[in-house]
Structure 1
Amino acid sequence: MASKAKHLVEELSHQGPHRVLRGDLALVGLPGVVHTPAEGLGLPAVAFAHGWLQPPVRYRGLLRHLASWGFVVAAPGTQLGPLASHRLFAADLRTALDVCTGVRLGDGSVSVDAGKLGLAGHSVGGGCAVLAAAEDSRVRAVATMAATQTKPFATDAASRCGMPSLHLAAGKDLVAPAVGHASLIASNWAGEAGLRTLPKATHMGFTEGRHWSNLLLPGKAEYATQRVARVLLTAFFLVHLAGNRRYAPVLDADVKGTVIETAQAA
């Protein structure tokens, strides 16, 4: 990795300069959580989609990390059951963006720029983020982690997404194989699509802490996987939502623990 990119990766691995506040989306009628910088007007915002059976709290470190770097991050806590509707969850993500743009957050000192909206998600949440992006012209950037297929198909929806995207695949994923869903989504993406594999990561490595669903799903929380995901998603959204090109070298760098891939169609 070039010296400049290595320095930027190290910088992004730490909390950003903003003090972070946490709020409850239920106050505006949508179960879930929102993390924001303590203050700031015209901020970028990201709606984050949890994985199958996973409560938003399992991504708290990532949500707080993004907020510390200047993003409003809303994570709906809906569709948590085993038979969750992917279509409705995608709609909830779009509603979360509506909340971010339509409500003054914090004590009124935090607002969002409607031209700086993004989506992110893990597992089935990654697929749902793609579904939501395909139906929402406001979305400017999308990032997924170990994305899985959805109904309707995220792989088809990707062909209607012209915004930049970043897709992280787990090399030891037994749920969504690295050469499967993430690669297909990236290869079908209508706009710019970056694809990386984390060779040592499992499907659940992106989650934090323990949860009863670990009895059903292979893998467990992995600090190294979470660290890399925080760095790459933060750099990606800083560049494509906040317009901060200083961190662009990270997106092309040989980041330790990842392999840059070329998406292959089926």
Structure 2
Amino acid sequence: MIKRRMMLGFGLAFAMGVGPMIGTAQAQRKELVIFAAASLKNALDEATANWVKETGKPAPKISYAASNALAKQLEHGAPADLFLSADLDWMDYAASKNLIKPETRVSLLANRIALIAPADSTAQLTLAPGVDLSAALGAGRLAMGNVESVPAGKYGKAALEKLGGWDKVKDKVAQADNVRAALLLVSRGEAPLGIVYTTDAAAEPKVKVIATFPEDSHPPIIYPVAVTKDSANSDALGFLTYLRSAGPKAAFEKQGFTVLNKPASSS
């Protein structure tokens, strides 16, 4: 069952709209196309709906997937106007490939990672030095994003290494193609434990947070955003400015994000 779920990331990406983006000519589009980290879905959907209501603009088309997958799609010519990454590394990668307009780049949000379990689980763990997740896992697996490429997986591995718990659990990890696929494994009871962002846990009633990882156990979790290099959509910069304004702040904070920048002027 776990192995079959490892294809969820690819399936979710297409279900969320990635597939239809490929091959659409940039110049023929009027609506914004946004590539965004999967963990942003609930908050960004709400913020986007409010922007449409306030401006009367066409609803943007948003492709949600792992940041690494989105950056690679941009590199291979997939058209998009904005890129919202779940970590700095993949935005740096996009910048190094000349895929974004660097003057538009902003560190928009911060997040945390947590250890989760199904809502009816009785597991209790403390994320302290020497932590051992193997006993709580039993014959099950620890669901998390790919530890080499998916930001949430990278943060989770770094945190467990810092706490001295990685070697004890590395052979029991079920690696998913994005953080929402890992969340789904736990919400369906197919994995007894998982590592996701606290914002993902807040969006899924079928899971609960057992413990939050210490902030100093992993690099800061920063979500940068930038207009893509080839975007010719006049609304791209306007929407980025809107994301930095006071309007979407409540949507982000309701999901558990920390808004990093000061609200932009509304004038």
TM range (shorter): 0.3 to 0.5
TM-score (norm 1): 0.34
Q: TM-score of the superposition, structure 2-length normalised? A: 0.34
- Greater RCO (Cα-Cα under 8 Å, separation 6 or more): 2
In our comparison, the structure showing a higher alpha carbon Rg is 2
